[in-house]
C-alpha cells in the first residue's frame, strides 16, 4: 500500500501561495510609490543645473591681471600670468613641494605638480584657473601676495606660489584646478 501524498510533495501552487506572492508584490510597489517623492527631491533643480558650468570672457585680461568669478558658490581665480611668473614656477624643484600632486581635474589624478600640469596646458601656459579656497580651512586667499608671489591666506598663514601650489603654512594641498576648457581664444568654460 502506498502512503497518502502530502501537500508539499506534489501538489502545484495553491491559493495561499498566490496570496503570498500578490501581497509581497503589492507591498513592494507601495514602498516604491511611497519612497519615490523622497528620492526625486534629491535631484538638483533647474537653477542648480544652470550654474553647473559658466563661460568667462578673458579677452580684457592682460598678462599680470587676475579675475575672480563665482562658480558653484565658490570663487575661481583666473590669472593671465606673466613670463616671469611662469619662469618662477618652472624653476621650483618638485621635491621642494609640500603637495606633489597637480590636483587638476582635467588630467590624470596622479600627475606631478609641474607648472604645466597646473596651467591650461601646452600653448596656454600663461593661463591659470583654480578654485580660490584655501585647502586648510576654506578661507579665501589674497592674490599676488605671500612669500612666493602667488596667493596668501592671512587667516592661518598658507603661502601658494604663482602656480597655486602650497609652499608654506598649514594648508595640506595645492589649490584645486576645476574642469575647464577654452571654447575660443578668449572664452573659458568652467564646469
Q: Which residues are catalytic?
A: 156
Tell me the C-alpha distance between 28 and 20, whole Å.
Answer: 12
Cell of 91: 624653476
Residue 127 near residue 113, CB atoms below 8 Å: no
Residue 71 near residue 178, CB atoms below 8 Å: yes
Cell of 66: 587676475
The conformation of residue 112, written as its DSSP 8-state character, comes to B
Tell me the C-alpha distance between 133 and 118, whole Å.
Answer: 16
Residues 6+ apart with CB under 8 A from 116: 122, 125
Using DSSP's 3-state secondary structure scheme, residue 171 falls into coil
37: number of Cβ within 10 Å: 8
Residue 81 near residue 116, CB atoms below 8 Å: no
Amino acid at each position: 500500500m502506498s502512503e497518502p501524498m502530502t501537500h508539499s510533495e506534489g501538489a502545484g501552487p495553491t491559493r495561499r501561495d498566490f496570496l503570498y506572492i500578490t501581497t509581497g508584490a503589492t507591498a513592494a510597489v507601495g514602498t516604491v510609490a511611497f519612497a519615490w517623492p523622497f528620492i526625486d527631491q534629491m535631484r538638483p533643480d533647474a537653477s542648480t543645473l544652470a550654474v553647473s558650468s559658466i563661460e568667462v570672457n578673458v579677452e580684457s585680461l592682460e598678462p599680470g591681471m587676475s579675475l575672480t568669478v563665482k562658480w558653484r558658490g565658490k570663487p575661481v581665480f583666473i590669472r593671465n600670468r606673466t613670463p616671469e611668473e611662469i619662469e618662477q614656477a618652472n624653476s621650483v624643484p618638485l621635491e621642494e613641494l609640500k603637495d606633489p600632486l597637480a590636483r587638476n581635474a582635467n588630467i590624470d589624478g596622479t600627475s606631478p605638480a609641474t607648472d604645466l600640469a597646473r596651467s591650461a596646458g601646452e600653448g596656454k601656459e600663461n593661463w591659470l584657473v583654480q578654485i580660490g579656497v584655501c585647502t586648510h580651512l576654506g578661507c579665501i586667499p589674497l592674490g599676488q601676495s605671500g612669500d612666493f608671489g602667488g596667493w596668501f591666506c592671512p587667516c592661518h598663514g598658507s603661502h601658494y606660489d604663482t602656480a597655486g601650489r602650497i609652499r608654506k603654512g598649514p594648508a595640506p594641498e595645492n589649490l584645486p584646478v576645476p574642469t575647464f576648457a577654452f571654447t575660443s581664444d578668449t572664452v573659458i568654460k568652467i564646469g
